[in-house]
Amino acid sequence: MKIYRDVRRPMRWGSVGRQPILSETEPFDETVRLAFRAMMLAAQQMTNVNGVDVELLPDCSIDDVLISDEKLRGIVDPTGLFLNSLLVPVLTRSHQSLRIRFAHRTYQEFFLALYVKENSEKFVGLNLPPAIVEHLADIENEGL
């Protein structure tokens, strides 16, 4: 809903809305799809498997997210991604690659749960954090 609101609100006053993620001709629905895909992949990148336990990490490299998806590879400037998602840049030194995190841990947990739902075979035999299990149950109950 935040993405829909942020893109559409400026349009009410005759503006073009937020900067798109990939190109100026990107349809609104594609912006939303790309943002969700990037957030799900970022949540997955912000995990570590320790034995059979899935642990959440605080951030990840934006490059790891972008190269993990064919469409996201086309992102040259991540500004549109930050404006249209719940991902924010992490301050790093100039010689380090850009790192990203979620604006809030709950967003990270929710998007990881969406990723797990779509890729359940990758998590067979692994112990997910309780918050992810709860989100998965909520997603199932809500029919998302």
What is this structure's pTM?
A: 0.83
The full DSSP string for 71-138 is TGGG-S-THHHHHTSSEEEEP--TTSPPEEEESSHHHHHHHHHHHHHHTGGGGTT-BPPHHHHHHHHH
Do residues 109 and 135 lie in contact, with contact meaning Cβ atoms separated by under 8 Å?
A: yes
**Element holding 44 (H helix, E strand):** helix 28-45
Q: Which two tokens stand for residue 107?
A: 């967003």
Q: How far are the Cα atoms of 30, 47, 59, 98 from residue 92, in angstroms, in the given order?
A: 30, 20, 11, 7
pLDDT class for 47, splitting at 50, 70, 90?
very high
Tell me how far apart the alpha carbons of residues 31 and 80 are, in angstroms, rounded to a whole number: 9
Pick from 18, 119, 69, 124: nearest CA to 111: 119
The per-residue pLDDT for range 70-124, each reduced to its tens digit, is 988 888 788 888 887 889 999 877 777 889 999 999 999 999 999 999 999 999 9
Pick from 70, 71, 91: nearest CA to 21: 71
pLDDT class for 22, splitting at 50, 70, 90?
low
